[in-house]
Structure 1
Amino acid sequence: MESSGFLAKYIGIPIVLGLAFVLWKLSHVGRRPKDLPPGPPTLPIFGNLHQVPSEKTYLQFQKWAEEYGPVYSLMMGTKPTIVLSSDIAVKELLDKRGGIYSDRPDLYISQDVASGGHRLVVMARQRYGERWRTIHRLIHNILNIKVAAKYVPYQDLENKVLLKGLLDAPGSEDLFKHLRRFTYSLSTQMIFGYRCPDFRDERLAQLFYVVNGWSEVSESASSQLADLYPILQKLPSFMLPSVRKGRHVHQVGRELYTEHWLKAKQQLKDGTGLPCICNDLLLAQQSENLSDEAVGYIVGSLLEGGSDTTSSTMYAFMLAMIVFQDVQKKAQEEIDNVVGPDRLPNVDDYSKLPYIRCCVKETLRWMPTVIMGVPHSVTKDDTYNGWKIPKGSTIINNVWGIHMDPNRSPEPRRFNPDRYIGDNTTLYESANGEPLKRDNFNFGAGRRLCQGVHIAERSLYLGMSRILWGFHLRKALDKAGNPITPDINDLVGGITVHPRQYPIDIVPKSPERTSIIRQAVKDAEELLHPETGQWKKVPEGMVFGAWKPIEKN
């Protein structure tokens, strides 16, 4: 008995000490290291995870920027996240040090489950190595400013069809559908060479199911936990609710995008296809050894980006016009003075309409669709302003926080295009210029800067200028005849956002302008097959691409 008591006494001490050590170690898990940028207090294990709201996260990130400064840190479980709410910090890190800041964090649900490892926007550079570099070079080569200019006939046609839609069905419930068909059909033409004539097209609905579904599962709590605590990825799928939805999103997306690609590929091979990005991809597929599924997701990524963000930005612009009527009036006066009442604005008018250029820039600032950017990851230890940024840290480009900084943009929730008077830079030039003068951060930064920026700027200009040329945008009236002012801060979505549906009254400016719109659409439709709505032949002035393998250094 004495012997057993002796053993219990002296064996129990190591166990107690071991437990104490484990508890001490756990108390430090999730704690912010002293050399990281400042941030909110942490809890053991969770870090700051419990403080991140599931909705309107961007508002909390903005609040923390005001409290802890333009560069602060969060501990998401054991993983440091560095939040950049400063234009200068974005320039210094994501742009100037792009060699180590252009990676993406590993995203299990978002990339592996819901994208089959193929979605370009979240593809990790280090993990996919040469494959990522090949696709990056390819996209840069086929979306540069010279190539983008050849798609103007597609942009001109779809914009005119949009105006016709606003004449025929101007109701609030159809507005977003018109805008989505416009941007989707424009994207399918540029990418695949064929149109979407009707917003009831099943493939359009499938696209936005994929876009919204991917955003939903990527933002879900179970998805974020699986990324922060990789051991959870080994759990049965029924214990991770986002896995089942993610797999279905991937299935629908893979089938949709591969179908689009194979159809365009066959048309190009048999000589019936039109100039499009797929022509360049067809030339590149053999030399770069890309599978049909991989190419399908390349074109799918382009389709998502071109369809979703541009339509959301246009929807935000029209909201701004009904709330800030003084801006609408000033913009319409400029258009009338430069263009006049007898024709639609065209691409060549852009340089003569500086206030419309300012409206494009202010819309992107006032209502950023990619509201918190797409996260970056740093590939080696770094320092900034005396703080350590550890290898593997997630880097957030806090787009909303930068855009809503009152020191950068006084009265940030006021739609004020005059902020950009005298700024004649294109969106691409601004993104690569001085950080304090950069107009917006929607298109990313550094080596992850969106290459579709040239196309987006032209589409936004044509949409805004022609709608204001042909229509007055007014507040809808309630049953008592009082104007309804929508809430400009009521945003919906996840990774990308847009204003919640709002009432609007879209009124043609005059019978004469209505006739000009209808005649312009009629002339354009002469170039289309009446049964299918597709082009009868290659639009005048357009040429097929001639992609060639480029140097890999």
Structure 2
Amino acid sequence: MPVVLTGIALCVAFYALYRLASIGRRPHGYPPGPPTLPLIGNLHQMPSKDGHLQFQKWAQEYGPIYSLILGTKVMIVLNTDQAVKDLLDKRSGIYSSRPEMYLGNIVSGGLRVLLMEYGETWRMIRKMVHNILNISAARSYVPYQDLENKQMLVGLLTQPELFIDHIRRYTNSLTTQMVFGFRTTSIDDPKLKQLFEGFENFCKVTGTTTAAFLDLFPVLKRLPDSMLPLRKYSKELHEEEKKLYVGHWLNIKNAMKKGTAKPCFCVDLLKAQDAHGFSDDLAGYISGSLLEAGSDTTAATLVGFVQAMVVFPEVQKKAQEEIDRVCGDRLPTMEDEPNLQYIRGCVKESMRWMPTDILGIPHAAIKDDEYMGYKIPKNAGIICNVWSIHMDPKRHADPRVFDPSRYANDFQTAGEAASNPDASKRDHFVFGTGRRICQGMHIAERSLFLGMSRMLWAFNFEKARDVNGAEITPDISKLVPGLFVMPEPFPAKITPRSKKHAERIDQEWAGAQKLLDSQDQWREVPEGMVFSTYNPEKSG
């Protein structure tokens, strides 16, 4: 009997050693990738910063699809428009979930829609959100965009050095109106600052090496907070985030109960809560997720556009010539969009040239699959390598040059481009893919068009100068790191194109203010807003 037990023990030991030795290896049949080391796989090759550049190098070496073995996890990276179309779009039923992001979910309390696994709760939220973000609804929000844009222009006129703050207020106030029914009237609003700072901290945490190690080696999660200070910090971030998001929700919920709330998305959210019985915490994060999505990425794209105008003055000149020819001495409007194709190109090129989700948000395979003869295992993380696709010289000649004329003959909306069966005809991949595609892309496109066209109509953007009078050229390669990125803060000289342009800005804002009450909130909600039409009984 002891001999038998010893034999079993040896077999178990050898099996354990075999399994341990296999960790870090790239299994036969997986997509190619950089050489691995035992136990850690490719972990030692993962960059601590500017990861998009390393992912681009690997794409150039290994082709349309490659794999990274990260300890016990597998990451599949898609590097061409066709690979993304074939898997994330055409097989979205398999690839619509998310891999676990341990620290990201701690910051989010497990409630952030962006990180939520594919399932019943996510589908319920998606259908509800579609109600206010579809293309028909998007057209009704133009009065909000028009007014907020005019306040942004006044801000740029009076405090041009704070252009990032004015852009952020513009995108945030539009979103607070749609979601909660109130305007964000000041760049100094503490909740505005908390939103952008909080989301930036969330992105930084999820982009750290510590976050990656905790996902790849789950045993590390057993360590106490004293040995994992970033987890302790993530819990603190969650408390601050929850206070903001759930606070917004409870305020509007109480106002709705009293009958004092303005029409907004939360009216439909309350219907859904009554029907499905989900918590105020989840309701807060559903509305908060819309707030951060509508505020941050659109603002980051506009900041990138300002940088492009400073660095590529010839583009600015050509864009202004088109605007002057079509609009003359009046502000551009959405009705001008069909006649401002170069400006439409500016919108598309801004998202291609400075993609905010530079490596996309990872998807996850919910079952084994095969592509191009390679195995893709269940639970593998799937990366849409946005940067590499956008910077592929075969797709876009001289990709680091900002050139809106690339889209001279592209009359598609972002939604039409994303659903085009010809993958090469998609304009960019900033709005995501498959069932995870951004439902607010129609609104974002309009906000970007109005923002860019009117800023160019009103202002000249030039390089700032240092104390010695030398021009300061922004470094287009320097980005704020994290899950989402934007250019590092840079100075710019922003001046009105003429005295008449400055006077027109003041006149337009004075006229817009007649729509507002003493608190600078809408006296009456503009007609045609698509709210309170959600039917929970038909959403399941």
TM-score past 0.5 threshold: yes
Instruction: Please say if 1:90 is aligned against 2:84.
Output: yes
The residue that corresponds to 2:137 in the other structure is: 147
The residue that corresponds to 1:122 in the other structure is: 115
Quote the offset at 1:17 in angstroms: 8.6
- Of the structure 1 ranges 488-497 and 284-293, higher mean CA displacement relative to structure 2 is found in 284-293
What are the ranges of 5 or more consecutive residues in structure 1 without an aligned counterpart?
1-6
2:467 pairs, out of 469, 472, 479, with 479
Aligned length: 538
2:439 is matched by which residue type in structure 1? Answer: Q
Quote the offset at 1:452 in angstroms: 0.7
1:397 pairs, out of 384, 391, 414, with 384
Instruction: Please say if 1:64 is aligned against 2:58.
Output: yes
The residue that corresponds to 2:122 in the other structure is: 132
The residue that corresponds to 1:502 in the other structure is: 490
Q: Is the 8 A contact 2:137 2:529 kept in 1?
A: no
- Of the structure 1 ranges 236-245 and 489-498, higher mean CA displacement relative to structure 2 is found in 236-245
Quote the offset at 1:235 in angstroms: 2.0
In the TM superposition, what whole-angstrom CA distance separates every residue of 1:26-60 from its partner, at most 9, and x where no partner exists? Answer: 33211001200000000111111111011111111
In the TM superposition, what whole-angstrom CA distance separates every residue of 1:437-473 from its partner, at most 9, and x where no partner exists? Answer: 1011011100000101011000000000000000111
Instruction: Provide closer, same or farther for how the CA distance between residues 417 and 19 of structure 1 changes in structure 2, counting only shifts above 3 A.
Output: same
Instruction: Provide closer, same or farther for how the CA distance between residues 265 and 461 of structure 1 changes in structure 2, counting only shifts above 3 A.
Output: same
What are the ranges of 5 or more consecutive residues in structure 2 without an aligned counterpart?
none
What are the residue-to-residue correspondences of 1:431-470 with 2, within 5 Å? Answer: 431-433=418-420, 434-470=422-458
Equivalent position SS for 2:66? strand
Instruction: Provide closer, same or farther for how the CA distance between residues 379 and 16 of structure 1 changes in structure 2, counting only shifts above 3 A.
Output: closer
Q: Is the 8 A contact 2:49 2:481 kept in 1?
A: no
2:139 is matched by which residue type in structure 1? Answer: A
Q: Is the 8 A contact 1:170 1:506 kept in 2?
A: yes
The residue that corresponds to 1:4 in the other structure is: none
Quote the offset at 1:203 in angstroms: 0.7
In structure 2, distance between residues paired with 1:507 and 1:40: 50
1:186 pairs, out of 153, 165, 174, with 174
In structure 2, distance between residues paired with 1:16 and 1:100: 40
The residue that corresponds to 1:276 in the other structure is: 264
2:316 pairs, out of 328, 334, 340, with 328
Equivalent position SS for 1:81? strand
- Of the structure 1 ranges 424-433 and 264-273, higher mean CA displacement relative to structure 2 is found in 264-273
Quote the offset at 1:232 in angstroms: 1.8
Equivalent position SS for 2:524? coil
Q: Is the 8 A contact 2:207 2:481 kept in 1?
A: no
1:534 pairs, out of 518, 521, 526, with 521
2:153 is matched by which residue type in structure 1? Answer: L
In structure 2, distance between residues paired with 1:215 and 1:322: 27
In the TM superposition, what whole-angstrom CA distance separates every residue of 1:385-412 from its partner, at most 9, and x where no partner exists? Answer: 1000011110001111110111111111
Q: Is the 8 A contact 1:142 1:280 kept in 2?
A: no
1:85 is matched by which residue type in structure 2? Answer: N
1:139 is matched by which residue type in structure 2? Answer: V
2:191 is matched by which residue type in structure 1? Answer: R
In structure 2, distance between residues paired with 1:288 and 1:354: 45
Instruction: Please say if 1:46 is aligned against 2:33.
Output: no
Equivalent position SS for 1:503? coil
Return the TM-score normalized by structure 2.
Answer: 0.96
1:356 is matched by which residue type in structure 2? Answer: I
Return the TM-score normalized by structure 1.
Answer: 0.94
Alpha-carbon RMSD:
2.0
1:421 is matched by which residue type in structure 2? Answer: A
Q: Is the 8 A contact 1:362 1:416 kept in 2?
A: yes
The residue that corresponds to 2:332 in the other structure is: 345
The residue that corresponds to 1:3 in the other structure is: none
Equivalent position SS for 2:282? helix
In the TM superposition, what whole-angstrom CA distance separates every residue of 1:191-234 from its partner, at most 9, and x where no partner exists? Answer: 11101111111111211232022112212222222211222222
Equivalent position SS for 2:491? coil
Quote the offset at 1:478 in angstroms: 2.9
In the TM superposition, what whole-angstrom CA distance separates every residue of 1:94-150 from its partner, at most 9, and x where no partner exists? Answer: 000000100101222211x1111110001011xxx3212211211222211111222
